[in-house]
Amino acid sequence: MVGALLVTASACGKKDAPRPEPSFTGRWDYLSVTTFVYNSTGTVASQYTQTFPLQNGRHSVLAVTPTTLQYFLPDGTAFLTPTPYTRAGATLTADGFWTSNPSSTAITQLTDAELTIRHEYQRSSGRLAEEEHYARRNP
């Protein structure tokens, strides 16, 4: 009986090792973008989502290597040339990759299956944010 209590007590105190972060690199299907428009008090005044339907059974793709980002159209044609990026925690920097020149870009969700990238913009008309939603493409 004492042995069973010791085993139970030691099993309860054991901590699981933290799971490593899923890989950012890979090919990601571009599913949708949600746009948030803020009013002068910083409250969301409007929000809308644009989904990207399949074209011939495929989505546009964000291809991420350890050093570059590149978009491909659904037919596989490269949309942009590979662009170098840096990542510091959740913050992404890729000069000229996002043509709308966000003031900040960050990964807000990264799992084995899903990726969300949020862009913040400060415009003369106010603040705007966009969240791009992706699903990992299986080879």
> Under 8 Å CB-to-CB from 106, ≥6 apart: which residues?
90, 91, 92, 117, 118
Q: How far is CA 2 from CA 6, 13, 28, 72, in A?
A: 6, 17, 53, 63
2-30 residues labelled b (16+ CB within 10 A) or e (exposed): eeeeeeeeeeeeeeeeeeeeeebebebbb
Place of tokens 């491909």: 72
Quick one: which of 96, 131, 97 has its CA closest to 114? 131
Q: What is the pTM of this model?
A: 0.81
Per-residue pLDDT tens listing for the chain (139 residues): 444 444 444 455 567 788 888 999 999 999 999 999 998 888 999 999 999 988 888 899 999 999 999 999 999 999 888 999 999 999 998 887 876 677 889 999 999 999 999 999 887 777 899 999 999 987 6
Tokens of 38: 């803020």
Q: How far is CA 87 from CA 3, 33, 52, 75, 137, in A?
A: 50, 21, 26, 29, 21
> Under 8 Å CB-to-CB from 133, ≥6 apart: which residues?
30, 31, 32, 33, 34, 114, 115, 116
Domains defined along the chain, listed by start: 22-136 (2.40.128)
What local confidence, expressed as pLDDT, does residue 1 receive? 45
